[in-house]
């Protein structure tokens, strides 16, 4: 009798566990508990659906999509920009995408259309022409004329080299973002698009 009960005990325990699982099965989903809720406990999908169903002008914020990606030039032959005796803003002429028209191919300036967090990537490339020559692949990312960051490769060991930076910035509408070429730096490019400048809105904060 005791032996038989000992054999049945594991089965009884398993049945109890399965019962607990079935009772709480509806509390969870494959996405995990609460994955669609924000920090207020509001279901994000339901909130978005309510906003989308609102007529224009009834608390519905217009969606602003902003993204640009540009390259220095599209010339067939390699050409260099700089060096100059003074700092110069770099005007990227080849436009891959300019969603929202925030970037100006005339001035090289990106005007922030809406306050929010933006991601920017800047890649610089240069060719010294021959081994032993001075290489100065460098530039600075600026917001309203203030330097934020800058990729830099300056040496005499490499004939050609490149550098890249990626940053996320909290910006305000109408801020001006541009790339500056410091004194002594020079960039070289052709239709391969070695020098690129990219930015896009991650999320709005207004």
Which pLDDT does position 148 carry in this prediction?
Answer: 94
Domains of the chain as residue ranges with CATH: 2-53 (no CATH), 67-204 (2.60.120.40)
DSSP states of 103-128: B-TTT--EEP-SSEEEEEEEEEEEE-
**Phi/psi at 10 (5° precision):** -60, -40
Per-residue pLDDT in tens (0 to 9) along the chain, 206 residues:
544 444 455 555 445 544 544 444 444 443 444 445 544 555 545 654 554 455 555 555 566 789 999 999 988 888 888 889 999 999 999 999 999 999 999 999 999 999 999 999 999 998 877 777 777 889 999 999 999 998 877 766 677 778 899 999 999 999 999 999 999 998 998 999 999 999 999 999 98
If DSSP codes are grouped into helix, strand and coil, which group holds residue 200?
Answer: strand
């Amino acid at each position: 009798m005791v032996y038989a009960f000992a054999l049945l005990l594991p089965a009884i325990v398993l049945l109890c566990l399965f019962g607990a699982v079935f009772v709480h099965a509806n509390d969870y989903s494959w996405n995990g508990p609460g994955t669609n809720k924000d920090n207020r406990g509001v279901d994000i999908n339901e909130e978005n659906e309510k906003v989308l169903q609102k007529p224009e002008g009834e608390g519905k914020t217009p969606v602003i999509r902003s993204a640009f990606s540009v390259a220095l030039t599209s010339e067939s032959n390699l050409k260099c920009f700089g060096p100059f005796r003074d700092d110069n803003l770099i005007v990227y002429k080849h436009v891959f995408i300019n969603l929202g028209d925030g970037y100006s191919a005339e001035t090289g300036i990106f005007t922030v259309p809406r306050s929010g967090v933006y991601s920017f990537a800047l890649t610089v490339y240069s060719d010294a022409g021959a081994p032993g020559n001075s290489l100065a692949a460098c530039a600075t990312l600026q917001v309203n004329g203030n330097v934020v960051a800058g990729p830099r490769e300056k040496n005499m060991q490499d004939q050609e080299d490149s550098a890249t930076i990626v940053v996320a910035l909290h910006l305000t509408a109408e801020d001006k973002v541009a790339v500056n070429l410091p004194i002594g730096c020079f960039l070289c490019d052709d239709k391969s698009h070695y020098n690129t400048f990219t930015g896009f809105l991650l999320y709005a904060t207004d």
